[in-house]
């Protein structure tokens, strides 16, 4: 997002007039990016090698963090050897000969931080190390995080996700709230203990700080959980529950964190301020809803664009007919449009003061449900592959940066008690979240969450990039620096230790492993077909099938049939030109589309893949609670015709 | 490449503590990027619509430039309406309460420019408009230009390119030198005339400035030429000549421009300085060779990496065996490695003071020749698709920025005489370049460059992104601002007017259109097989077939057979583990790989595609000159076995 004018180096380079003497700064930037790229390459290759040797305990995230730490060590040693790398910080305007009209001054947050820390800890000897940081945080979180989140949401197994929607929403919404409160209270107890033991002053850690820490560490990390689950290939329902929860609780944790910081400046320390509290709750709900709507708005735009000018069949015919030399191919356009509009959802949310990550998350979820149906097969797989590469590289960059920061951030505050309290409280909070909610959910679910699943869910609370991004944004007070340090340690511990222990644990809990999504999806749909659709088709189903799908995709009955007569004009405008005559054909074509599973695409889509993302409507009345009685009056054939 | 620390906004945002009040600057940045994205979307959709209506005269580049100009008009009107958008330029450190230890000052080149212009033209009323610029030039040229150049080089039809290598090299190297000198001399004449007519002062336009203009406008633009050629589907030999020339002459023009700027500071005005001249020539050759080696070095690294840990067959088996849930898929890794290492070639060249664009160009050419053979089919098509999207979006962003700058750059210098001289001289120089060189080349070519081809080549000298990027880097003197203005007008004129006139011209010149690359490739190879390989297999063939291919790919005879005995250890180290036993199998598999043609990929690779990028060795002795007598002593079967 660094889109502002700052081409000092060009002016300077051309001023010197010599190509061989490009400004030092440009070379330095190139060297730093090269270092980052080398790190990524080493990570990719060594993790690949380890996997080839069947050593599955380390995945990309853990490897990236490890190499980032190695780089951190190297940087610290280089500094201690007296090699002051990159110390000439003010040498950026060699072309500046007289006073310019305007000067743009950028103070890095690290510099900003020194000021504060310098006051408290003037003996700190690591000040110059932090200049070495490889990435602009801005680049990291505005360029690399959104594709990771988008890809996570986009590749969520829609069918199973909707089948478990109720449970996933419960865990991610109420679970995160419980977790935040629980951690906050535990940590507040710990900080009181620290005050008693004389390890902290009375005003150092406020309740708000503790709740902030709770909110930050409540976000379980989709990236590392996906890595873990995919490597182990656990039971697919467990997979959906854990991954769906981790994707959605990021949204809740991000908004919760902001709501808590909104509360912060109003309250005068310990005193409870009801109006500020209400304001925080309002901000929480407002931002969550606003970001949801923003994400959905961009899906609607993408769906309508992809719907009108690029109908799949026309596109297909064009592709066949068109000579290879022609540049105006549709899959490229489709991919570009989806990419640009999805990124716009992030930017628009940012521009309007909402949460970009949350918007892009909902955008990804809804793009996968609606837009995808309007896009050609080739366009689908290309969009997915594009986001896959972005997400893969982004996750490597973010995790190596986490490892790097862990060893080079000059103002870590290690409080043994706080850290041990945090380690304890994340397990306590996870238990308080999973067990009671599972108990409640099992009352309604036909397909119960078993005890071993619950144990594994408590265990698999890995923390990662989103928690780090929330913790690193503010390091102005000692409490917040303690939070950053502790969050980094928690992330490292959960990714390495819990990640490595997951395999033996799954064995001892006797949970199915080595699941095959394709075979399973057949079992799953036949099972569903036997159960038949639920009579209690709720609001969601009505909305999705009667309005959203006909409005946004080529599937479903034409709007003209669904809407009342007085909406005729509207219905005709929003119906695609050929929906009536082609509907039958579509319903035949649809099952052959490749599935949007959680796999990273491994082979080109073949028409034999069991594509069943549209059979989810069989299940939608269930909402994961399986409450309704089995009703076979609507045969499944009928349901598949609606798709 | 903006990878420096500058998270002022995060510090500031968290200082304010409220999410709804993210700093103005972050929202502004988001809005600017949104504007750019909307522009890109409008371009994509409207050009698509036009193409659907069979109106082929406008392609993406022309459309993007047009919409950029529309935005420019809008911005100017908004400004004149007294809406001072984005004027608070220094409002970036709200969190700064006391003096920090270090301050990083960035002076934008525009600001830098004002200073100079302010001295000359204090009445300029457009100063604040330039703050509106949407993109950091740095982002534009370091992020968007390399993939465009890489993609151009990567998708060059290797077989035809090598068949025409001699001619392409002649046009791009000697042709560009001729063109530069010719334009320089013409323009120098024009500036003398301007001095005589009193339109310019004596010292305003030096010969060096004129030669600089010559070098800048000698770069014909691969992006718009590819657009033009692909839409019209002209004769494939003509296609290769024009496109190959446009890709390679960018390298020559870039290095030439820098060599001329190297000369600039040494010479005192008009006086000729032999030592500075020699220095310039040295710098020209040094940078050209250095960048070539840098690009090739990274290809060697990519090839060796892709060669050892990811042998295609092993990879293929893994892909089939591996469950869909597994994340460690090879195509993703291959794509990531190729992407990272190709980008590294650009960065390394930058870091060592060479030309990044030239390095990435040679990297693309050699990746397409060697690395691609080690990569799985899926990895190949994904790499290509990834760069295709980058290149497509990059070209839209760069061309809309060109259109935007044309209307909003506040310091345009429109000199009617200079501009008309420039328009005349680009045609004169093109004629002086193409006709004599074609005459010379036709002496050696069996497949002559016909007169109508020559006419069209003179005509199709479109200018674009590279010329713009060279012109915009330095706007410190009036001469250089005149150059920028004129270059932009030349680009606009050539893209719109020549682009639209190409279709009728081709008809009137009676040049084959609507060529089908697939059908043609069959004709071409049978034709070649009949002609048989040339006995005069030169240095290139030896190097390529006897060392590079065996060293870098799985194709060709094992190194142990090729190298003398005393190199045995070396040969064994660099031979892939399974080359001996698998060679036969490879030679059977190879012809089924999809071709790397100029098309933007339209459908997933099918094994039936006539993949013939390896048959080029049949032709390599020819070097496009067809000098040697036909010798059928080596049957083509033998040659195809070597591959």
User: How much is the pLDDT for A424?
Assistant: 92
Question: Given CB atoms, is A283 within the 8 Å cutoff of chain B?
Answer: yes
Chain B, nearest residue to A325 by Cα: B599
Chain B residues near residue A26 by CB distance under 8 angstroms: 1, 350
In this complex, the residue of A30, A103, A112 whose CB is nearest that of residue B11 is A112
User: How much is the pLDDT for B423?
Assistant: 92
Angle of the B356-366 helix axis to the B236-266 helix axis, nearest 10: 150
Chain B, nearest residue to A20 by Cα: B353
Q: CB distance B5–A131 less than 8 Å?
A: yes
For residue B576, give both structure tokens. 């892939």
Lowest-confidence range among A478-492, B167-181, B468-482, B608-622? B608-622
Percentage above 70 pLDDT, chain B: 62
User: How much is the pLDDT for B598?
Assistant: 36
Contacts of residue B305, Cβ cutoff 8 Å, sequence gap at least 6: A41, A45, B337, B341
Question: Given CB atoms, is A51 within the 8 Å cutoff of chain B?
Answer: yes
Question: Given CB atoms, is A341 within the 8 Å cutoff of chain B?
Answer: yes
At residue A472 the predicted structure's pLDDT band, cuts being 50, 70 and 90, is confident
For residue B453, give both structure tokens. 């081809």
Whole-angstrom Cα Rg for chain B = 26
Chain A residues near residue B355 by CB distance under 8 angstroms: 19
Percentage above 90 pLDDT, chain B: 11
Partner B, chain A 394-433, Cβ-Cβ below 8 Å: none
Report whether pLDDT(A294) > 70: yes
At residue A555 the predicted structure's pLDDT band, cuts being 50, 70 and 90, is low
pTM of the model: 0.74
How many Å from the N-terminal Cα to the C-terminal Cα in chain B? Answer: 40
Question: Given CB atoms, is A88 within the 8 Å cutoff of chain B?
Answer: no
Mean pLDDT of A546-573: 65
Report whether pLDDT(B102) > 90: no
Q: Is B319 in a helix, a strand, or coil? A: helix
Chain A residues near residue B13 by CB distance under 8 angstroms: 473
CATH 1.20.1530.20 fits A137-509, yes or no: yes
Report whether pLDDT(A539) > 90: no
Question: Given CB atoms, is A344 within the 8 Å cutoff of chain B?
Answer: yes
For residue A307, give both structure tokens. 């719907």
pLDDT digits (tens, 9 = 90+) for B514-553: 655 544 444 444 444 333 334 333 566 667 777 777 777 7
Report the gap between the CA of A177 and the closest CA in chain B (Å): 19
User: How much is the pLDDT for B446?
Assistant: 78
Report whether pLDDT(A214) > 50: yes
Report whether pLDDT(A380) > 80: yes
In this complex, the residue of A14, A37, A136 whose CB is nearest that of residue B340 is A37
Report the gap between the CA of A584 and the closest CA in chain B (Å): 25
At residue B30 the predicted structure's pLDDT band, cuts being 50, 70 and 90, is confident
- CA distances from residue B321 to A565, A597, A603, B324 in whole angstroms, order as listed: 55, 17, 11, 9
Report whether pLDDT(A115) > 60: no
Question: Given CB atoms, is A32 within the 8 Å cutoff of chain B?
Answer: yes
Question: What average pLDDT does the structure give for chain A?
Answer: 70
Return d(Cα B498, Cα B220) in angstroms, integer: 13
pLDDT digits (tens, 9 = 90+) for A243-256: 888 888 888 898 88
How many Å from the N-terminal Cα to the C-terminal Cα in chain A? Answer: 40
A425 vs A4, which has greater pLDDT? A425
Q: CB distance B355–A127 less than 8 Å?
A: no
For residue A77, with 0-12 CB atoms within 10 Å meaning exposed, 13-18 middle and 19 or more buried, which class applies? exposed
User: How much is the pLDDT for B612?
Assistant: 38
Percentage above 90 pLDDT, chain A: 12
Report whether pLDDT(B416) > 60: yes
Report the gap between the CA of A344 and the closest CA in chain B (Å): 6
Report whether pLDDT(A349) > 60: yes
User: How much is the pLDDT for B148?
Assistant: 87
Mean pLDDT of B94-119: 36
In this complex, the residue of B7, B49, B89 whose CB is nearest that of residue A108 is B7
Mean pLDDT of A493-517: 78
Domain boundaries, chain A: 137-509, 517-601+608-642
A416 vs B272, which has greater pLDDT? A416
A27 vs B114, which has greater pLDDT? A27
Question: What average pLDDT does the structure give for chain B?
Answer: 69
User: How much is the pLDDT for A297?
Assistant: 92
Partner B, chain A 540-569, Cβ-Cβ below 8 Å: none
Lowest-confidence range among A202-216, A257-271, B116-130, B401-415? B116-130
Mean pLDDT of A267-292: 79
Chain A residues near residue B392 by CB distance under 8 angstroms: 332, 336
A634 vs A192, which has greater pLDDT? A192
For residue B638, with 0-12 CB atoms within 10 Å meaning exposed, 13-18 middle and 19 or more buried, which class applies? exposed
Contacts of residue B492, Cβ cutoff 8 Å, sequence gap at least 6: B65, B402, B403, B406
pLDDT digits (tens, 9 = 90+) for B321-345: 333 333 334 788 888 888 999 988 9
Lowest-confidence range among A183-192, A366-375, B73-82? B73-82
Q: CB distance A517–B325 less than 8 Å?
A: yes
Report whether pLDDT(A505) > 80: yes
Instruction: Count other C-beta atoms under 10 Å from residue B260's C-beta.
Output: 24
At residue B374 the predicted structure's pLDDT band, cuts being 50, 70 and 90, is confident
User: How much is the pLDDT for A569?
Assistant: 64
User: How much is the pLDDT for A528?
Assistant: 44
Report the gap between the CA of A97 and the closest CA in chain B (Å): 9
Alpha helical stretches, state H, A135-220: 137-139, 145-154, 158-163, 165-170, 176-196, 207-217
At residue B133 the predicted structure's pLDDT band, cuts being 50, 70 and 90, is very low
Chain A, nearest residue to B6 by Cα: A108
pLDDT digits (tens, 9 = 90+) for B585-622: 333 333 333 333 333 444 443 343 333 334 344 343 34
Question: Given CB atoms, is A137 within the 8 Å cutoff of chain B?
Answer: yes
Question: Given CB atoms, is B10 within the 8 Å cutoff of chain A?
Answer: yes
pLDDT digits (tens, 9 = 90+) for A62-112: 888 888 888 888 888 876 444 333 333 333 344 444 433 333 334 333 333
- CA distances from residue B499 to B402, B492, B493, B598 in whole angstroms, order as listed: 17, 10, 9, 19
Question: Given CB atoms, is B386 within the 8 Å cutoff of chain A?
Answer: yes
pLDDT digits (tens, 9 = 90+) for B556-586: 666 666 666 666 666 666 655 544 344 333 3
């Amino acid at each position: 997002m660094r889109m502002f004018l700052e081409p000092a180096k060009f002016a300077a380079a051309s001023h010197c007039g010599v190509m061989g003497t490009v400004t030092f700064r440009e070379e330095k930037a190139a060297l730093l990016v090269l270092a980052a790229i080398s790190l990524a390459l080493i990570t990719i290759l060594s993790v690949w090698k380890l996997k080839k040797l069947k050593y599955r305990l380390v995945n990309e995230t853990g490897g990236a963090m490890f190499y980032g730490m190695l780089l951190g060590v190297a940087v610290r040693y280089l500094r201690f050897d007296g090699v002051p790398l990159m110390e000439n910080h003010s040498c950026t305007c060699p072309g500046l000969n007289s006073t310019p009209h305007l000067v743009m001054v950028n103070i890095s947050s690290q510099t900003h931080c020194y000021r504060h820390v310098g006051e408290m800890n003037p003996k700190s000897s690591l000040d110059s190390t932090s200049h070495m940081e490889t990435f602009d945080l801005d680049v990291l979180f505005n360029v690399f995080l959104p594709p990771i989140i988008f890809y996570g949401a986009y590749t969520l197994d829609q069918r199973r996700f909707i089948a478990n929607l109720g449970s996933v929403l419960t865990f991610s919404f109420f679970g995160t709230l419980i977790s935040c409160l629980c951690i906050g209270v535990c940590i507040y107890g710990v900080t009181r203990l620290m005050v008693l033991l004389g390890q902290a002053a009375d005003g150092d850690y406020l309740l708000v700080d503790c709740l902030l820490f709770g909110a930050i560490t409540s976000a379980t990390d989709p990236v590392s959980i996906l890595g873990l689950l995919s490597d182990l290939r656990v039971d697919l329902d467990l997979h959906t529950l854990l991954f769906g929860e981790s994707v959605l609780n990021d949204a809740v944790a991000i908004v919760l964190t902001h709501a808590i910081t909104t509360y912060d400046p109003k309250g005068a320390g310990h005193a409870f301020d009801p109006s500020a509290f209400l304001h925080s709750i309002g901000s929480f709900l407002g931002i969550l809803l606003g970001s949801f709507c923003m994400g959905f708005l961009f899906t609607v735009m993408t769906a309508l664009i992809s719907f009108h000018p690029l109908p799949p069949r026309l596109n297909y015919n064009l592709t066949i007919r068109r000579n290879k030399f022609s540049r105006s191919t549709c899959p490229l356009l489709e991919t570009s449009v989806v990419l640009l509009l999805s990124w716009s959802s992030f930017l628009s949310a940012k521009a309007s003061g909402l949460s970009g990550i949350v918007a892009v998350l909902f955008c990804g979820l809804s793009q996968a449900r609606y837009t995808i149906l309007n896009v050609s097969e080739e366009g689908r797989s290309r969009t997915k592959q594009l986001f896959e590469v972005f997400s893969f590289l982004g996750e490597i960059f973010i995790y190596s940066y986490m490892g790097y920061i862990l060893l080079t951030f000059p103002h870590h505050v290690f409080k043994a008690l706080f850290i041990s309290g945090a380690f304890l409280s994340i397990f306590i909070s996870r238990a308080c979240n999973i067990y009671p909610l599972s108990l409640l959910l099992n009352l309604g679910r036909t397909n119960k969450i078993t005890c071993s699943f619950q144990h594994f869910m408590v265990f698999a609370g890995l923390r990662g990039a989103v928690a780090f991004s929330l913790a690193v944004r503010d390091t102005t007070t000692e409490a917040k620096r303690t939070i950053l340090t502790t969050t980094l340690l928690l992330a490292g511990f959960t990714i390495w230790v819990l990640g490595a222990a997951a395999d033996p644990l799954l064995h001892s809990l006797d949970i199915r492993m080595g699941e095959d999504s394709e075979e399973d999806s057949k079992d799953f749909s036949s099972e569903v077909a036997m159960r038949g659709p639920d009579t209690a088709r709720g609001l969601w189903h009505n909305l999705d099938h009667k309005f959203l799908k006909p409005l946004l995709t080529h599937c479903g009955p034409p709007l003209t049939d669904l809407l009342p007569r007085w909406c005729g004009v509207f219905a005709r405008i929003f119906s695609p030109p050929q929906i009536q005559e082609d509907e039958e054909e579509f319903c035949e074509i649809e099952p052959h589309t490749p599935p949007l599973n959680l796999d990273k695409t491994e082979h080109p889509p073949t028409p034999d893949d069991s594509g069943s993302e549209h059979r989810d409507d069989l299940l939608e009345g269930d909402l994961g609670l399986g409450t309704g009685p089995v009703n076979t009056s609507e045969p499944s054939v009928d349901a598949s015709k609606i798709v």
